[in-house]
């Protein structure tokens, strides 16, 4: 059974950093790209970042480019989202999702809430 579990969310002050983790199981992790997608309260989802299966390519939304980085440890079936210089508008539930191919996420975690507030 495919499972994706995010962690690391919390309340953080503007300008500070936070690292999210996502542990996957139930599928061959090294075969799949992985996404981070966020959803602000009452809003639609917003794609944040994608990392290829081997970690050689990483892509970011313009809204987070230069502030967020994505990485993965295939030995631990885990991806990470390092978020620096956080802003109030980064407040959202952050989801990790497996890319089934063609930029579509077919298995999502339950999400982890990030609140950026002073």
Partner 1 sequence: QSALTQPPSASGSPGQSVTISCTGTTSDVNNYNIVSWYQQHPDKAPKLIIYEVSKRPSGVPDRFSGSKSGNTASLTVSGLQAEDEADYYCSSFAGNNNLVFGGGTKLTVL
Taking residues 4 to 23 in sequence order and writing x for each that binds partner 1 by CB under 8 A, - otherwise, the string is --------------------
Residue 102 within binding range of partner 1, rule CB under 8 A: yes
Helix (H, G, I), strand (E, B) or coil at 89: helix
Of 22, 50, 92, 116, the one binding partner 1 (CB under 8 A) is 50
Looking at the Cβ atoms of 56 and 62, the one nearer to partner 1 is 62
What is the rounded distance in angstroms from the CA atom of residue 4 to the CA atom of residue 113? 15
Q: Is 28 in the site for partner 1 (CB under 8 A)?
A: no
DSSP 27-78: S-GGG--EEEEEE-TTS-EEEEEEE-TTSS-EEE-TTTTTTEEEEEETTTTE
- Residues engaged in binding partner 1 (CB under 8 A): 37, 43-47, 50, 59, 61-62, 95, 100, 102-106, 108-111
């Amino acid at each position: 059974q495919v499972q994706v579990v995010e962690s690391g969310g919390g309340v953080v002050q503007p300008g500070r950093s936070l690292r999210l983790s996502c542990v996957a199981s139930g599928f061959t992790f090294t075969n799949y790209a992985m996404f981070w997608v966020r959803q602000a309260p009452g809003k639609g989802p917003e794609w944040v970042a994608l990392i290829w299966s081997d970690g050689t390519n990483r892509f970011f939304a313009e809204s987070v480019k230069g502030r967020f980085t994505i990485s993965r440890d295939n030995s631990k079936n885990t991806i990470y989202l390092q978020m620096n210089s956080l802003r109030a508008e980064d407040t959202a539930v952050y989801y990790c999702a497996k890319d089934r191919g063609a930029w579509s996420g077919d298995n999502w975690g339950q999400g982890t809430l990030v609140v950026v507030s002073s």
